[in-house]
Amino acid sequence: MHEYGRAIEMFVQLHGNLPVADIKRSHARTFREALQVVPKIRKGPLLKATLTELSEYGRAHPKLQKVSAGTVNKQLGAVQAIAGWSYHNGLVPEEVSWADPFREMRLEEEQSERAPFDASDLQTIFDAPLFTERKLPVGAKGDAGIWLPVLALLGGARQAEFAGLRASDIREEPDTNTQLLYLVRDRKAGRRLKTKTSERVVPVHPQLIALGFLDYVDARRREDGENAWLFPMVAPDQKGALKAWAKWWSRFLRTHVGLLAFERRSLTRQSRNARR
């Protein structure tokens, strides 16, 4: 609802609150062109700028990196879906000749799957006070706000898998003294993996150790025992907590870091690419 509402809001900022019957292909084309020059990273006054202001700023600064074709298409698609629903539900008078003005307006995308953050994105994210000063807002759900993004980047698993970890899932392999992270399912506790073959053992990344992850695990053991949830506020027994955390993370990227909300990026895929 938020994403669709935001797309409609930007369309109205550019063209006014038009009746659906009055939307022409020229409106759709102008909307697409304005979206294409929106800066990918927005800070300061740009965080609350209108689409008109963002597009003007982008045109005035041609060297700035702009939002991706996928982002543009997602916003075009949102307005297209609302306009199409309106037409099929009688909000366009029957005597008015109307065709979908957004048809064939989408840009060609290099790839359809979720892309990783680039180096500049990662620098921007992890320079935020959340990570540099440990400023934890309520939505961060305690230390999950710091460790889940870092684990997703360096740990080679999904955030939902990390959210279900217990202290007992991090163990040392005695022959090599290697720290290992065990990703296993436990249906009784609500721990689920995508498939049966998703059960696996992952070496703990040296950078995670340098950042103090093992110290955090030991602290959780001392607090609540060997079977303590590593992140109790987003653990599987906290229904809906991880979903709420994910929404907070998206808002954090948008409002505190300055990455546009519609940029669909993945720390986990960044990790997979790095391993390749």
Strand order in the sheet with 200-203: 170-173, 178-183, 200-203
102-106, 172-176, 197-201: least confidently modelled range: 197-201
pTM above 0.75, yes or no: no
Q: How confident is the model at residue 148 (pLDDT cuts 50, 70, 90)?
A: very high
pLDDT, residue 112, reads 46
CA distance 11 to 69: 17
For residue 184, the model assigns a pLDDT of: 79
pLDDT, position 189: 53
Task: Report whether pLDDT(125) > 60.
Answer: yes
Average pLDDT, the chain: 86
What domains can be seen in the chain, in order of their start residue? 2-88 (no CATH), 116-275 (1.10.443)
Can you tell me the distance from the alpha carbon of 172 to that of 166, in angstroms, rounded to the nearest whole number? 14
Q: Look up residue 82 and give its two tokens.
A: 């609302």
What percent of the chain lies above the pLDDT cut of 90? 53
Residues 46-66: pLDDT tens digits? 988 999 999 999 999 999 999
HSE value, Cβ hemisphere, 13 Å, CA-based, for 190: 13
3 state DSSP class of 176: coil
The stretch 68-78 carries a mean pLDDT of: 92
Of 252, 253, 165, residue with least CA distance to 208: 165
Predicted local distance difference test score (pLDDT) of residue 170 = 93
- pLDDT for position 261: 43
Mean pLDDT of the 232-247 span: 89
Give residue-wise pLDDT tens across range 5-33.
999 999 999 999 999 999 999 999 999 99
Q: How far apart are the C-alpha atoms of 79 and 17, rounded to whole Å?
A: 12
Look at residue 116 in the predicted model and tell me its pLDDT: 72
Residue 265 has pLDDT above 60, yes or no: no
Q: Is the pLDDT of residue 275 over 50?
A: no
> Residue 240: pLDDT band by 50, 70, 90 thresholds?
confident
